[in-house]
Amino acid sequence: MATTARVLSDLAVAFVAALGAVAGTWWLLDLPASYVLIGAAVYASLAGLVLWTIPADLPGPGMGPANRITLGRAALAVPVFALSVQPGTLEVRDAWCIIALSTVVLILDGFDGRIARRTGTQTEFGARFDMEVDAALIMALSVLVWRSDRVGPWVLLIGLMRYGFVAASWIWPALGAKLPPSLRRKVGAVAQGIVLLVALGPIIPVWMAVTVAAAGLALLSYSFAVDVRWALRRSRP
């Protein structure tokens, strides 16, 4: 209960930031009022998951400095999450807004882990929180690239790959083993975000968007294949 109480203030501040980002996007893109409600529901779901999974021994004031950066990234990504489920056609100005917000979120991704190491506040929760924000952003961008009619529905595999891996671990528990730290995996996650933003860019020819997205999917497939092979080999006697 004490941990929950000190985390609520951080969640409240992030809610104000998320609501401001959603309201600004709503105004700039002239979206229906339902978009604001979707954004609020998305943030409420995020806050609920944080409160459900946060450990009692979390170090630092509030969520800690690194987790606060991750929470801020998530708040800025809420408008992108909401746009991915908002009905309607994706316009050129929508694409530029998505690219601007997502670029900031991706840039900030380089700070939370560094701050956690410098302050000695690394936790399994923080690493998982960071990973889930990245995965959700990539999933949302995959949906938006598909809805832009620039790339076929196969681009959704980029966002679904990680969730498919988790689902497969329920059937094959060996895949649920904790993976060792990997620069390949970290670089690959950032690369997928860049690939999807390039594919979404209105000034990028369609053939180039398809090529870049296909290359990103191939790279991601290779990375997951390496992890699957490692997990299966580790499970053998």
Expressed as residue numbers, the domain containing 74 is: 2-235
* pLDDT value at 61 more than 70: yes
Q: How would residue 110 be classed by pLDDT, with cut points 50, 70 and 90? A: confident
- CA gap 143, 136 in Å, rounded: 11
Contact 50, 78 (CB under 8 A): no
Residue 2: pLDDT band (50, 70, 90) is low
Lowest mean pLDDT among 34-43, 54-63, 75-84: 54-63
Amino acid 237: pLDDT: 61
Q: What six digits make up the tokens of 156?
A: 């959704």
User: What's the gap between Cα 101 and its chain centre?
Assistant: 12
Q: How many domains does the chain have?
A: 1
Let me know the angle formed at the C-alpha of 72 by 89 and 203, rounded to the nearest 5 degrees. Answer: 35
DSSP per-residue letters across 114-143: HHHHHHT---HHHHHHHHHHHHHHHHHHHH
30: left (phi over 0), alpha (psi -120 to 50) or beta: left
User: 133-158 burial, b if ≥16 CB within 10 A, otherwise e?
Assistant: bbbbbbbbbbbbbbbbebbeeebbeb
DSSP state of 59: -
CA gap 172, 169 in Å, rounded:
5
- C-alpha distances (whole Å) from 100 to each of 46, 214, 222 are 22, 23, 29
Please, what is the Cα angle at 93 between 102 and 90, to 5 degrees?
A: 85
Residue 214 pLDDT > 80, yes or no? yes
pTM for this structure? 0.93
List the one residue out of 171, 154, 163 whose CA is nearest residue 214.
Answer: 154
Binning the chain into helix, strand and coil, the percentages to the nearest 5 are 80, 0, 20
